[in-house]
Structure formats: C-alpha cells, structure tokens
Amino acid sequence: MSVSTLFPAQLYAPFALEAARTVFLRDNPGYAATARLRDLRATEYARLDRQGHTYLDYTGGGLYAEGQVRRHLDLLQENVFGNPHSVNPTSMAATRLVDAARAYVYKFFRASPEEYTVIFTANASGALKLVGEAYPFAPGSRYLLTFDNHNSVNGIREFAQAKGAEVLYLPVVPPDLRISQERLEEFLGKSEPGQANLFAFPAQSNFSGVQHPLELIAQAHAAGWDVLLDGAAFTPTNRLDLSLWKPDFVSLSFYKIFGYPTGVGCLLARKDALKKLCRPWFAGGTITIASVQGCGHYLADSEAAFEDGTVDYLNLPAIHIGLEYIDSIGMELIHNRVVELTGWLLKELAGLCHSNGAPLVRIYGPTDTACRGGTIAFNFYDPDAVLVDYHKVEQLANSFNISLRTGCFCNPGAGELAHGLTTDEMREAFQNEERMTLEQFQAIVLSKHKKSAGAVRVSLGIASNFADVYRFLGFAAGFLDRPAEGQ
C-alpha cells in the first residue's frame, strides 16, 4: 500500500502517522539502525517538537544539539581567553584551542597536514572569495563552472573576467540536472597548457540535490585544471574524505553541518595549489613583517597568510565541539537516515496526483536517491497544470510552522535550466539600467514568458525524522484538486 493512499483525509490524525510509519519501516528496514538519531531528536533537539516546528531547511542552516551550546558556554565561563596574536597566558590558552580546532578539521576530513592547509574563514563564501581574488587568472586562462553553482561560486567570474580570463559554463541537463560526460570532456579539452585553469563545481547542488561524481576531480586534473570543490551543501550529510579525493580547494560553512556557531567556515587548500595564489593585499596577522617606510611586507608561510585579522577564536572551540559531536554519531549514520527519508519523500511527492490524473508536483532533479542528497526542489501545479505561486506556498507553510525555502536559493543557473528559461530571456532582464528586485524579475518572467523563476525547496538533515516528512507530505496533499488561483 502506498502511503499516499492515506491522504488527505487522515492527514494529521495520529493513527494515520503511525500507519504510515509502519509502512515506511517495513519498506526501509535500514532505517531502524539510525535509532540513535531518533533518540537525539528527543533529547538534543527537543525544542523542535516542543514548539511544533517542522524544520525542512537544513541546506539553509543545520541545527545544533543543545549539548554543543552547553559545552561551549561552560568553556567560556570557566576560562579566560585573550587575542591569540600575543604570547601571554590568556592568549596562549586561546591559541591552544584554535590549534586543536584546526587539528580536528584535518582529522574530520581525513586531510593530511602535509598535503592540505586549513584556513578558517567567516563562511563558505569567504573561502570562495579567498580563492577567486587570488587565483592567477590572466588572458588565455579559463574559469569553467557548472550551471548549478551557488552565487558565491558564480561570483568568482567577476575576478576572472577582470583579469581577462574566459568564463565557461557547463550546462546541467534537465530533468535530472546532471552534467553530460561528453560535454564535460569537450569543455575540459579547452584548457591551454601552461595557463591557469580553474574548474568549479558543487559536490552537491543546493538547488537539485544532485551529487556530481567526485571522480571529476581527477578527470579535471588530468586535463590540466585546478579544481575548486564547493562542499557547502554536501558536507552536512556526506563524508568528504580528502585521503581519497584531492580537490585543490574546498569551501564549506560549519553551521550547515552542526548548526552552531554561525560565522565560521573554512577553505581546505592543497599546499601546492595555495602556492599559486597571489593575495591582493595583506592584513594584520597575514604577514611576518611589514614596514611603512620600507614599503614592503612578507606574507606568512602558512594558513596565517589567508586569515585576515584575528580569527574567531572564541567560536573556534565550538567548531571542535561540533565536529566531535558529529563524529560521536557517525556521518554515515546521518547520511543513511537522510537518504531513507529523502527516498520516501521523493516517491510520495512524485505519486501525488489530482483526481484528473495530473501530477501535483514537478521535481527539479533526480527522483530517486542514487547520487543525490536530501535537498528537493519542486513546484506545485494545479489540475490544469497552472503553476502555484511559491510565495503562497511559503505563506501557507508558515501558517503550519513548516520552515522551507522558496525562490532560486542563490543558485540561478540550475533554476534557469530547470524552468526552461533561455539565454535571450535572461539577457533581457539585464538590459535595465535600474536595479531590478527579485520580485520584479520574477513577475516579468511569469507574465512575459509564462515560466516560473523560482521553486520550493525542502531539505533534510541531522535531526529529521519520519514525522517531519509525513507532515510535509500532508501539507503538500492539501494542494490536491485546488485551483492555483485563490489558494
């Protein structure tokens, strides 16, 4: 029996949830092995159920365990920490914790300190900017990136273009929004020997959930490219093992993995790739010496050269705490649970049909769990195939205390291809001298081209459980047999 047969009449009735859970557990026998996370939901994340939240925006931000915050607070309350740029007792106490956090990052990502450097940044975007502004783009060099990159990766094209490099976009192909090997080979073949060539792709798309094969890293290396792997959406529910995969640069944000603290990310950079970067400035902490009268400076010979000013030394111990916490659960366990819940939600969502047989949702990206993560983008359509405005979807979700995301998720390229928007249609939007807001842009695309310029996104993570996806499916079923207008 498909669980969707229980909808929508018995939507929120507890026995319907229990019946659905029984079917789910029968069909997903591996799920029982993730019971540790069920228990943690009841203890470390009890606030979700206490306040009746259905949290479905883990790709936006992860959730922290209460114990992480308590450990961090205890540490701060019981110690005195000074700026680590000195060598006094409080400074050295901070330095020890910063060093320990860095050492744990190496361990967590299985990165050898001989091979990689861990550079703390404010977030993934900060890591990406460090690479973009310092990469030796020049006339004759190339910046190749997949269409489904986050804007913080797209933005590097401004540095590339300013230095005369060519920017090339490798399309992802609907409906699965994966790249084609053939096109990739064609694009990789465009590198010029002796030039700096950078290829950037997300390990997991924050739009479609697609996980591009990490084998692309070695393939690009063999074709003469440096590789920037955006790990921001991948690392919260997948093991990134840098003893196996050797990207030159990896960007990520820690709050996406374990929720707390915000404001810290990192760039993991291969030491030989780091040597190619040319920093456009120096700052406090990045140099060995600088002189005003001598008008010179020497950059530090370590991660310090890339950590501008004072690192976030009071929060870095919380990174250590967060990573230890994830290790105490096991990334594989988190991964497995998210895969099982995602598979169920994909299947059930895709199976929802109006009475006239028309499908309720169009999913952008793969509809099974092979090589994809727990991020699902889609739109609702009414029985006459009219698009339901995602603003309305969001408003309704809010009224049920469901946290989801709508819009383009800072990932315009994947959306443009998923929605069938053409180069000409997009170019038109940028003829305006006046700044256009997202709302104006979306209104024009909808009225002129009858196409959506946005979608709804739900994403699962560490504290997700069956009740969350069940509740969301019930919410989705509420759109069945209703006209798009007037909802």
- Active-site position among 266, 371, 408, 410: 410
Is residue 313 within 8 Å of residue 97, measured between CB atoms?
yes
Angle subtended by helix axes 35-43 and 316-329, to nearest 10:
140
Strands 265-270 vs 166-170: parallel, antiparallel or unpaired: unpaired
Listed in order, strand segments (DSSP E) in 26-112 are: 54-55
Q: Which is nearer to ligand PLP, 117 or 205 (CB)?
A: 205
End-to-end alpha-carbon separation of the chain, Å?
30
Site residue total, ligand PLP (CB under 6 A) = 13
Q: Which is nearer to ligand PLP, 364 or 466 (CB)?
A: 364
CB of 198 to ligand PLP, least distance (A): 16
CB of 60 to ligand PLP, least distance (A): 6
Single out the residue of 57, 226, 230, 308 in contact with ligand PLP (rule: CB under 6 A).
230
Structure tokens at 16: 């319907």
Positions in 104-133 near ligand PLP (CB under 6 A): 123-125
3-state secondary structure of 196: coil
How many CB atoms lie under 10 A from the CB of residue 347?
16
What string marks each residue from 131 to 160 as x (binds ligand PLP by CB under 6 A) or -?
-------------------x-x--------
CB of 123 to ligand PLP, least distance (A): 3
CB of 69 to ligand PLP, least distance (A): 19
CB of 156 to ligand PLP, least distance (A): 11
Cα dihedral 121, 108, 99, 84, rounded to 10, equals 30
Placement of tokens 């409080």 in the chain: 90
Strands 142-146 vs 166-170: parallel, antiparallel or unpaired: parallel
Single out the residue of 95, 117, 206, 208 in contact with ligand PLP (rule: CB under 6 A).
206
Q: Which is nearer to ligand PLP, 202 or 412 (CB)?
A: 202
Binding region for ligand PLP (CB under 6 A) out of 48-56, 105-113, 226-234, 313-321: 226-234
* Cα–Cα distance, 56 to 461 (Å, whole number): 8
Q: Which is nearer to ligand PLP, 160 or 352 (CB)?
A: 160
Single out the residue of 8, 202, 373, 374 in contact with ligand PLP (rule: CB under 6 A).
202
CB of 411 to ligand PLP, least distance (A): 7
What string marks each residue from 312 to 331 as x (binds ligand PLP by CB under 6 A) or -?
--------------------
CB of 253 to ligand PLP, least distance (A): 3
Q: Which is nearer to ligand PLP, 24 or 258 (CB)?
A: 258
3-state secondary structure of 83: coil
Single out the residue of 253, 315, 369, 465 in contact with ligand PLP (rule: CB under 6 A).
253
CB of 248 to ligand PLP, least distance (A): 17
Positions in 32-71 near ligand PLP (CB under 6 A): 59
Binding region for ligand PLP (CB under 6 A) out of 63-71, 227-235, 283-291, 413-421: 227-235
Listed in order, strand segments (DSSP E) in 102-231 are: 116-121, 142-146, 166-170, 172-173, 178-179, 197-202, 226-230
* Cα–Cα distance, 480 to 469 (Å, whole number): 17
Is residue 91 within 8 Å of residue 85, measured between CB atoms?
yes
Query: Is 410 labeled as catalytic in the residue annotation?
Result: yes
Q: Which of 165, 167, 129, 169 is nearest to 146 (CA)?
A: 169
What string marks each residue from 259 to 288 as x (binds ligand PLP by CB under 6 A) or -?
------x-----------------------
What string marks each residue from 232 to 251 as x (binds ligand PLP by CB under 6 A) or -?
xx------------------
Distances (CA, A) of 31 to 35, 62, 465: 8, 21, 10
Please calculate the CA angle 459-451-481 and round it to the nearest 5 degrees.
Answer: 70
Q: Which is nearer to ligand PLP, 263 or 483 (CB)?
A: 263
Distances (CA, A) of 228 to 73, 131, 250: 35, 9, 6
* Cα–Cα distance, 344 to 356 (Å, whole number): 24
Q: Which is nearer to ligand PLP, 130 or 473 (CB)?
A: 130
Q: Which of 402, 384, 386, 369 is nearest to 476 (CA)?
A: 402
Is residue 159 within 8 Å of residue 135, measured between CB atoms?
yes
Which residues form the interface with ligand PLP (CB under 6 A)? 59, 123-125, 150, 152, 202, 206, 230, 232-233, 253, 265
Instruction: List the catalytic residues.
Output: 410
